[in-house]
Structure 1
Amino acid sequence: MTKENILFLAVGLLLGLIVGFVVTNNLNQSGMQMMPGGTQPTSGMPSGHPGVPGDPSQPGGMQDVQSTIDKARQNPNDFDAQLEAAKVYYQIQRFDGAVEFLKRANELKPDDYDTLVNLANAYFDSGKYEDAEKTYLSALEKKKDDVNVRTDLGLTFIFREKPDYDRAIKEFTASLQLDPNHVQTLQNLTVAYTKKGDAAKAQETLAKLESVDAGNAAITRLRDDIAKIGTK
């Protein structure tokens, strides 16, 4: 979810810690990133800042959203129109709609890397983790050293109905070979080891995370979850 997101699963509880892209806007993740991107929510902007075009919270916002979507449907070969429609669907958190228009954009420009990554992100946010996996893999065929994308690929194996923690660990480990200090990957790898029940590896990875980002808000919860291994 590019996303660059921090998503982690606490033991016995699914938790999303989002930085940037997954859930509220998402996908973690890399590339254009649907939000933030060409459009951004107005929260956090200075007082009196004009509304963002297409922002449904502003007067006429939903009308602008519908107009953007209609334009994309009426111009199916307009690449930019498909992207704009996908963005507004992200803004209203209709990830299925974002998938529709990103698929079309990808068909129009199959070599556009950012579009491919955002399609994977949209699948992820739609809960279609197998589709997200396939699309992230396609992106990695084009850019194998994208740490964020490989980390998001690993997350698909944690979030799916039948998790594959070993595969998630494999992908996170590959990400760390590219960037040993990648905070999101260290956090997610700690979670994967914890979910697997490997306290030693989880603690080792958490120690690395603490050395890289001592103020990380997830550390206390991760430490508590590691301590619970073997008590359930």
Structure 2
Amino acid sequence: MEISKTKRVVWDETGQDYAMFVKELGNLRTRVDGDWTREEAFDVHMEIGRVLYEYQLFKEALVSFKIACELQPVDVRPHFRAGNCLYALGKHSEAKGEFTLALEAAKNGSNQWDYLLPQIHVNLGIALEAEGEYKAAVKALEEDIFLKANYVDAHCDMASALHAIGDDEKAVQVFQQALDLKPSHVDVLYNMGGLYMEMGRYQRASEMYTRVLSVSPNHWRVQLNEAVALLGAGETKEAKRALKEALKITNWVELHDTVSHLKQL
């Protein structure tokens, strides 16, 4: 979704500072609409939206992208950006609508939008999955992989959607395709480990978690999952070792809950 993890402004939306910020932002938008041509105003609103989005001010970024949509309804970019904002705000159904509009605009336009098509498809798939429309999500992600066969994240998301509809064997195949593209992809390895756990294939799950730890050795949750997987595989001694490693990293409440769960197995 391209959400920035490094820049964020946290506002108290009931406070005076936030109200003043929104007011000044509104004044800026009004000046843009009054002083610039339609094409220039579109570019400025898009730029304002991008800056706001980068700082994770999704609600205000959405306003800018919606204005841009009105100025250039057949342009793919504002619909795509608006969809990202809506998804970040938890409005998955509305996000799905914007991604669909972006997709339609891209297909009806020239090939200038070809570079954006794979990302539109994958974000649409993610939104569909969030709405519980797993079969539609699989279809969108299949189209994405067709457009960009080496798109690892699309494979990962498609595998998750396949698991959601109960097609675990196909999900394993798609995860494996992702690993063939990027063997050290942590999200793929972690999610594949989780899938193997749910399938009762504990030894394979343990292998996935071991590979994650080779890349991120201080990932305490992976240590815990590996302990559970090893216990399921009958490797009690190794399970205890993994738990001890997790204890070195964290003493969080979640660790206590997991240990309590292990004692009941």
TM-score band, normalised by shorter chain: 0.5 to 0.7
Which of 93, 101, 110 is residue 104 of structure 1 equivalent to?
101
- Tell me what 1:229 maps to: 232
Change (3 A) 1:141 1:94: same
Q: TM-score, normalised by structure 2?
A: 0.60
Deviation per CA, 1:77-102, whole angstroms, max 9, x where unpaired?
23233123223312322011111011
- Tell me what 2:9 maps to: 42
Name the structure with the higher helix share: 2
What are the within-5 Å matches in structure 2 for residues 185-196 of structure 1? 185-196=188-199
Which of 168, 173, 185 is residue 170 of structure 1 equivalent to?
173
1:150 aligns with 2:147: no
How far the C-alpha of 1:118 sits from its partner, in A, is 1.9
> Residues of 2 paired with 1:67 and 1:146: CA distance?
30
**Could you tell me whether the CA contact under 8 Å between 2:213 and 2:222 is conserved in 1?**
yes
Change (3 A) 1:72 1:101: same
> Residues of 1 paired with 2:187 and 2:194: CA distance?
11
How far the C-alpha of 1:157 sits from its partner, in A, is 2.2
Q: TM-score, normalised by structure 1?
A: 0.67
**Could you tell me whether the CA contact under 8 Å between 1:165 and 1:195 is conserved in 2?**
no
> Residues of 2 paired with 1:62 and 1:210: CA distance?
37
- Tell me what 1:85 maps to: 82
> Residues of 1 paired with 2:202 and 2:60: CA distance?
53
**Could you tell me whether the CA contact under 8 Å between 1:186 and 1:208 is conserved in 2?**
yes
Structure 1: runs of 5 or more not aligned: 1-32
Structure 2: runs of 5 or more not aligned: 12-16, 23-50, 108-113, 234-263
Change (3 A) 1:62 1:196: closer
How far the C-alpha of 1:71 sits from its partner, in A, is 5.3
1:124 aligns with 2:129: yes
**Could you tell me whether the CA contact under 8 Å between 2:59 and 2:85 is conserved in 1?**
no
How far the C-alpha of 1:41 sits from its partner, in A, is 4.6
Q: Which secondary structure state, in structure 1, belongs to the residue aligned with residue 220 of structure 2?
A: coil
- Tell me what 1:214 maps to: 217
Q: Which secondary structure state, in structure 2, belongs to the residue aligned with residue 109 of structure 1?
A: helix
How many pairs align?
189
**Could you tell me whether the CA contact under 8 Å between 1:34 and 1:86 is conserved in 2?**
no
Q: Which secondary structure state, in structure 2, belongs to the residue aligned with residue 218 of structure 1?
A: helix
How far the C-alpha of 1:144 sits from its partner, in A, is 0.8
> Residues of 2 paired with 1:192 and 1:67: CA distance?
40
> Residues of 2 paired with 1:222 and 1:62: CA distance?
36
How far the C-alpha of 1:173 sits from its partner, in A, is 1.1
How far the C-alpha of 1:153 sits from its partner, in A, is 1.1
Change (3 A) 1:36 1:128: farther
Change (3 A) 1:105 1:203: same
**Could you tell me whether the CA contact under 8 Å between 1:140 and 1:149 is conserved in 2?**
yes
> Residues of 2 paired with 1:144 and 1:217: CA distance?
33
> Residues of 2 paired with 1:96 and 1:36: CA distance?
22
Q: Which amino acid in 2 is paired with 1:36?
A: S
* Larger RCO, structure (CA 8 Å, separation 6 or more): 1
Further displaced range: 88-97 or 216-225: 216-225
Deviation per CA, 1:170-196, whole angstroms, max 9, x where unpaired?
111111112221111111111111111
Deviation per CA, 1:3-34, whole angstroms, max 9, x where unpaired?
xxxxxxxxxxxxxxxxxxxxxxxxxxxxxx25
Q: Which secondary structure state, in structure 1, belongs to the residue aligned with residue 219 of structure 2?
A: coil
Deviation per CA, 1:29-50, whole angstroms, max 9, x where unpaired?
xxxx25239xx75259xxx9x8
How far the C-alpha of 1:72 sits from its partner, in A, is 2.9
